[in-house]
Amino acid sequence: MIIKCPECGHQVSDKAPLCPSCGIEIAGHILKCSNCGEIYLREEGSCPNCHHSEVLKFTPIKEDTTEKEISDDEETVVEPTTEKKPIGNSNEAPLIELCEENEHSASSDVSESNNDAIVAEIIPDEFVLLDNEASEIKNLKEEQPVIKKKHKNNHIALLVSFLIATIISAILLHFYNQGTTKNEEKEYAIAVSSKEEAVLQQYLDDFPNAPQSHKSIITAHLEQLQKVKGELEKINYFSTKEEYERYLAKNPNSPYKTKILKKIDDLAWDEAVRINTEASYLGYKERMPNGKHNKEADEKLKVFLDDTASPDETKLAVKSIREFLQGINTKSSSKISNTVASSLNFLGKSGSTVTDINDYMREKLYQADVKTLNWHLGEPAEVNNVKVDGGTTEQHVIIPARLVIDRKGGTAQKKYTIRATVKEGKITSINWMQ
């Protein structure tokens, strides 16, 4: 029902937990004076209007006709508060449980005193046993045998599940062992034919329970490979042909014999090239009749037997001439200086220097009307070796060339034949003629 807040007078429902105006607690915290009908807070202890104190008697707040009517069959229970307080506090009303006897007594008092007071017996919550709770206790006792039966059934089900799991595990273990055996045999076949230490060691790690015969063979194979590896590491420290030859004499059946012979062959060839004489190449062919460098030795000997330059010598000589002409094309004194000897024969003039070449470019080639010029070399017509004092050789080169001159009045081309002498990559003589 709608009441006035005892604190601020704002209209509020007696079911509201708080007053929306002042925030004071409403539900379970208000009383209606049985003497004057004043609404006041239960915490005040007595009516502020008539000072009447509600101890064992109280007047419940009657609901409006708009509220839901209480059925005649329902028991009347008066709860002045939702909070549970200890019994014996005169200022606070405890939870009150009405019995039929008290209802009869209260009815008689109401008729005699002509007011709405109800005499109630104060019964603590701990001593009140509801009908539904009693029913639950009864049902619980009736169900106890059933629960025990369920527990028994659970034990049987657990035992059956355990047996099934054990059988499945045994079957799986059987198939696993079969698969492991087959896999071990396969890996053994791979390992026994391998020459890799890692493969052998992996087999031993993966199959510690393999047949002893298999493990023994793989272990012996692994030890042999490790021994050979140590031998190879020792060989790799050799640096001379004589060291390899001595080792091979002591170990003629070494698994690295082929590799050692190849190393001896390479070292013998390096020695022949370093000496670079007819005798050195003949000596290589004599020591290594089946050496892989015999063809190269024949080419070197051919140079010493006739005046034909080798391909490498020809390439080096032509490169020097080309870079020299590129220096003229770009007016680069540094590039010209890198390709010629300190003193050379230039266009028939002995004792020429880079300065003489620069003067020729400025006075003869790059005249006032010349914009650019470019030398273009053809394939060498002839490259011959000529022995000079000291046992060295020089290359005499004959090569065709084409000079393109771009002038202000047009472009002109001229064909030349260049004759040059190159010694150790430096031009000692160069001339060209149409």
Quick one: 297 and 332 in the same domain? no
What is the span of the domain harbouring residue 9? 1-124
Query: Each residue of 195-251: pLDDT tens digit?
Result: 777 888 888 888 888 888 888 888 887 877 766 666 666 677 677 888 888 888 888
Quick one: 170 and 278 in the same domain? no
Q: Is residue 167 one of the residues assigned to a domain?
A: yes
Could you tell me whether strands 393-407 and 118-119 are parallel, antiparallel, or unpaired per DSSP bridges? unpaired
Q: Is residue 247 one of the residues assigned to a domain?
A: no
Contacts of residue 106, Cβ cutoff 8 Å, sequence gap at least 6: 98, 117, 118, 119, 120
| Number of domain units in the chain | 4
Quick one: 81 and 134 in the same domain? no
| Amino acid letter for position 198 | A
- Percentage of the residues of the chain whose pLDDT score is greater than 70: 70
Q: Which is more confidently placed, 74 or 191?
A: 191
| Domain C-terminal end among 61, 93, 124 | 124
Token pair listed for 97: 């449980």
Q: Is residue 248 one of the residues assigned to a domain?
A: no
Q: What is the largest CA-CA distance in the chain?
A: 163
Q: Is residue 112 one of the residues assigned to a domain?
A: yes
Note the pLDDT of residue 94: 39
Note the pLDDT of residue 314: 86
What length is written for the chain?
A: 434
Quick one: 30 and 140 in the same domain? no
Quick one: 359 and 405 in the same domain? yes
| Gap between the Cα atoms of 121 and 87, Å rounded | 12
Sign of the C-alpha dihedral, residues 110, 113, 115, 118? Answer: negative
Q: Is residue 15 one of the residues assigned to a domain?
A: yes
Token pair listed for 41: 């807070």
pLDDT at 3 over 90: no
The model carries a pTM of 0.34
Quick one: 356 and 278 in the same domain? no
Quick one: 62 and 144 in the same domain? no
CA atoms within 13 Å, Cβ hemisphere of 298: 7
Query: Each residue of 25-43: pLDDT tens digit?
Result: 888 788 888 888 888 788 7
Which of 168-172, 233-237, 274-278 shows the lowest mean pLDDT across its residues? 233-237
Quick one: 95 and 7 in the same domain? yes
Using pLDDT thresholds of 50, 70 and 90, give the confidence band for residue 188. Answer: confident
Find, among 273, 270, 269, the residue nearest to 284 by Cα: 269
Q: Is residue 347 one of the residues assigned to a domain?
A: yes
Note the pLDDT of residue 84: 42
Quick one: 6 and 76 in the same domain? yes
| Domain C-terminal end among 305, 326, 343 | 305
Using pLDDT thresholds of 50, 70 and 90, give the confidence band for residue 312. Answer: confident
pLDDT at 45 over 70: yes
Quick one: 62 and 160 in the same domain? no
Q: Which is more confidently placed, 81 or 266?
A: 266
CA distances (Å), 70 to each of 31, 34, 169, 334, in order?
A: 20, 22, 68, 123
Using pLDDT thresholds of 50, 70 and 90, give the confidence band for residue 404. Answer: very high
Query: Each residue of 57-105: pLDDT tens digit?
Result: 444 444 444 444 434 444 444 444 444 444 444 444 433 343 344 444 4
Are the C-beta atoms of residues 34 and 52 closer than 8 Å to each other? yes
Angle, CA of 370, 372 and 376, to the nearest 5°: 125
Quick one: 297 and 321 in the same domain? no
Note the pLDDT of residue 168: 86
Quick one: 202 and 318 in the same domain? no
Note the pLDDT of residue 402: 93
Summary mean pLDDT of the chain = 75
pLDDT at 426 over 90: yes
| Domain harbouring 338, CATH code | 3.10.450.50
Note the pLDDT of residue 108: 44
Note the pLDDT of residue 230: 66
| Amino acid letter for position 403 | L
| Domain C-terminal end among 206, 237, 268 | 237
Query: Each residue of 100-120: pLDDT tens digit?
Result: 444 444 444 433 434 444 333
Note the pLDDT of residue 124: 45
Rounded to the nearest angstrom, the gap between the alpha carbon of residue 116 and the centroid of all alpha carbons in its chain is 85
Q: Is residue 246 one of the residues assigned to a domain?
A: no
Using pLDDT thresholds of 50, 70 and 90, give the confidence band for residue 306. Answer: low
Are the C-beta atoms of residues 18 and 7 closer than 8 Å to each other? no
181 backbone φψ class: left, alpha, beta (φ>0; ψ -120 to 50)? alpha
Rounded to the nearest angstrom, the gap between the alpha carbon of residue 290 and the centroid of all alpha carbons in its chain is 54
Note the pLDDT of residue 403: 92
Are the C-beta atoms of residues 390 and 377 closer than 8 Å to each other? no
Round to the nearest angstrom and report the end-to-end CA distance of the chain: 134
Note the pLDDT of residue 114: 43
Q: Is residue 98 one of the residues assigned to a domain?
A: yes
User: For every residue of the chain, which 3-state class applies, written as one string?
Assistant: CEEECCCCCCEEECCCCECCCCCCECCCCEEECCCCCCEEEHHHCCCCCCCCCCCCEEECCCCCCCCCCCCCCCCCCCCCCCCCCCCCCCCCCCCECCCHHHHHHHHHHHHHHCCCCEECCECCHHHCCCHHHHHHHHHHHHHHHHHHHHHHHHHHHHHHHHHHHHHHHHHHHHHHHHHHHHHHHHHHHHHHCCCCHHHHHHHHHHCCCCCHHHHHHHHHHHHHHHHHHHHHHHHCCCCCHHHHHHHHHHCCCCCCHHHHHHHHHHHHHHHHHHHCCHHHHHHHHHHCCCCCCHHHHHHHHHHHHCCECCHHHHHHHHHHHHHHHHHHHHCCHHHHHHHEEEEEEECCEEEECHHHHHHHHHHHHCCCCEEEEEEEECCCCEEEEEECHHHCEEEEEEEEEEEEEEECCEEEEEEEEEEEEEECCEEEEEEEEC
